[in-house]
């Protein structure tokens, strides 16, 4: 059997307190704060504690060439070599046991990821998080509890040159656009019965995710234009629609074809299955469950890093792209009189599985939703505000 080291590996010197049964048995406080090395690699589901001896073997092992395992076991402590193979830091050339690790490692080799972004993406996602369940168990902190635990939040009014007198700016011009901006709000109270009209749905999709033009920069390199800006003209963001209640569309998962303004049906769902997935997708934020449509925005890292090879800013760029699409979505929904939301608190693993996303090649970044508002306000929205009225802009009497 031949083996090689995984392609990417980042180690952290960790001293975060962690639960320890041994400490409890010894009459301690149940916490272990000893220092340890943690290995983060894109093929692993979780960081792996490693010793300096294991790191030394990894350093000596080839990253790119397959070498005989027997040879490695002869040159180093065989038990250490075996332990690295068991946790997926050394990879075997063949065999089912390591197939998933090997496939992810191959993708890491294939795409010119910036290593720290790769590791952050691979390890930063959530498994199954259920915020509703955590709320019901009293595990979510209220604002009062946060202030009590951490002190007051840093002030929203932020001065950098407090010794200088501020220069008052002129009154802003006013247009219809201001009314649209003023009406924009994150909706946490959707009508759980209302069906979203086909025209509204189609308008949202076209305005926000539809391609409005392309331009061939070179054979094999096409820049795309949408109603939002995107880093490098790449538009490496895809839109997947989870439909619960849209006129003329069966509940299910669809992929939006931005060039064709059409939907690719991916998976038909019963109404209950669609509702269950919606709850899981937004990590159990039950105030979003009733949205008749959710759109998962994923990043296509292969397209992104095709241009921005090992670029330190590319990962940031694609998150910004999603933010721009989200704001266009907010403005379009507001214009149509619909409620809408965006959330980055998503159960990444549930989304990846439901959409069958190719790991490390494409990954979920955020979810938005839109639909008719409920008449009833059960969950807080920022609708009642103390107006910010700079003194020099106050209307004169």
Ligand X SMILES: Cc1cc2nc3c(=O)[nH]c(=O)nc-3n(C[C@H](O)[C@H](O)[C@H](O)COP(=O)(O)O)c2cc1C
**71-130: which residues touch ligand X (CB under 6 A)?**
none
Q: Binding string, 282-301, against ligand X, x = CB under 6 A?
A: ---x----------------
Instruction: Yes or no: say if 293 and 201 are a contact pair by the CB < 8 Å rule.
Output: yes
340 near ligand X (CB under 6 A): no
Candidate residues 66, 76, 343, 359; the one interacting with ligand X per rule CB under 6 A: 343
Q: Per this entry, what is the length of the chain?
A: 397
Q: Burial, 314: exposed, middle or buried (Cβ in 10 Å; 0-12, 13-18, 19+)?
A: buried
As measured in angstroms, the least distance from the Cβ of 153 to ligand X is: 14
Q: Closer to ligand X by CB, 325 or 342: give it.
A: 342
First-to-last alpha carbon distance for the chain, in angstroms, is 87
HSE-CB of 304 using CA atoms within 13 angstroms = 30
The nearest distance, CB 332 to ligand X, in angstroms, is: 15
Among 87, 202, 344, 359, binds ligand X (CB under 6 A): 344
Build a one-symbol-per-residue string for 177-206: x at contacts with ligand X by CB under 6 A, - elsewhere.
Answer: --------xx-x------------------
Cα separation, 189 vs 271, whole angstroms? 19
Rounded to the nearest whole angstrom, what is the least distance from the CB of residue 283 to ligand X in the complex? 8
For the chain, the farthest-separated pair of C-alpha atoms sits apart, in whole angstroms, at: 90
Q: Which stretch binds ligand X (CB under 6 A): 36-44, 87-95, 174-182, 336-344?
A: 336-344
Nearer to ligand X, 380 or 393 (CB): 380
Binding to ligand X by CB under 6 A, coded x per residue (else -) over 221-260, reads ----------------------------------------
By CB under 6 A, how many residues form the interface with ligand X?
Answer: 10
Q: Which residue lies nearer to ligand X by CB, 202 or 345?
A: 345
Residue 345 touches ligand X, criterion: CB under 6 A: yes
Binding site for ligand X (CB under 6 A): 185-186, 188, 285, 342-345, 381-382
């Amino acid at each position: 059997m031949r083996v090689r080291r995984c392609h990417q590996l980042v180690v952290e010197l960790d001293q975060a307190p962690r639960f320890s049964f041994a400490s409890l048995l010894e009459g301690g406080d149940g916490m272990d704060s000893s220092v340890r090395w943690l290995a983060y690699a894109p093929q692993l589901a979780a960081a792996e504690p490693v010793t300096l001896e294991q790191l030394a073997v990894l350093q000596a092992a080839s990253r790119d060439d397959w070498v005989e395992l027997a040879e490695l076991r002869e040159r180093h402590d065989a038990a250490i070599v075996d332990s690295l193979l068991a946790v997926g830091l050394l990879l075997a050339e063949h065999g089912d046991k390591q197939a998933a690790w090997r496939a992810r490692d191959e993708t890491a080799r294939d795409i010119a990821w910036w290593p720290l972004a790769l590791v952050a993406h691979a390890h930063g996602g959530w498994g199954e998080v259920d915020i509703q369940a955590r709320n019901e168990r009293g595990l979510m902190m209220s604002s009062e509890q946060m202030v009590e635990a951490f002190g007051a939040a840093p002030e929203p009014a932020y001065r950098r040159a407090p010794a200088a007198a501020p220069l008052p700016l002129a009154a802003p011009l006013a247009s219809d656009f201001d009314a649209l901006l003023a009406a924009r709000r994150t909706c946490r109270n959707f009508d759980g019965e209302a069906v979203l009209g086909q025209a509204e749905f189609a308008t949202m999709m076209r305005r926000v995710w539809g391609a409005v033009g392309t331009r061939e920069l070179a054979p094999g390199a096409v820049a795309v234009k949408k109603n939002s800006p995107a880093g490098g003209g790449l538009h490496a963001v895809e839109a997947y629609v989870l439909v619960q209640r849209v006129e003329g569309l069966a509940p299910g998962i669809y992929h939006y074809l931005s060039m064709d303004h059409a939907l690719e049906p991916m998976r038909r769902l019963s109404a209950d299955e669609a509702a269950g997935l919606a709850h899981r997708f937004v990590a159990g934020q039950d105030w979003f469950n009733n949205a008749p449509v959710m759109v998962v925005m994923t990043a296509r890292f292969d397209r992104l890093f095709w241009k921005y090879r090992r670029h330190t800013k590319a990962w940031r760029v694609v998150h910004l792209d999603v933010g721009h699409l989200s704001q266009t979505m907010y403005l379009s929904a507001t214009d149509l009189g619909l409620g809408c939301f965006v959330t980055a608190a998503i159960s990444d693993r549930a989304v990846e599985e439901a959409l069958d996303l190719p790991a490390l090649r494409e990954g979920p970044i955020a979810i938005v939703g839109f639909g008719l508002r409920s008449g009833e306000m059960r969950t807080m929205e920022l609708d009642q505000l103390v107006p910010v009225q700079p003194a020099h802009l106050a209307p004169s009497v």
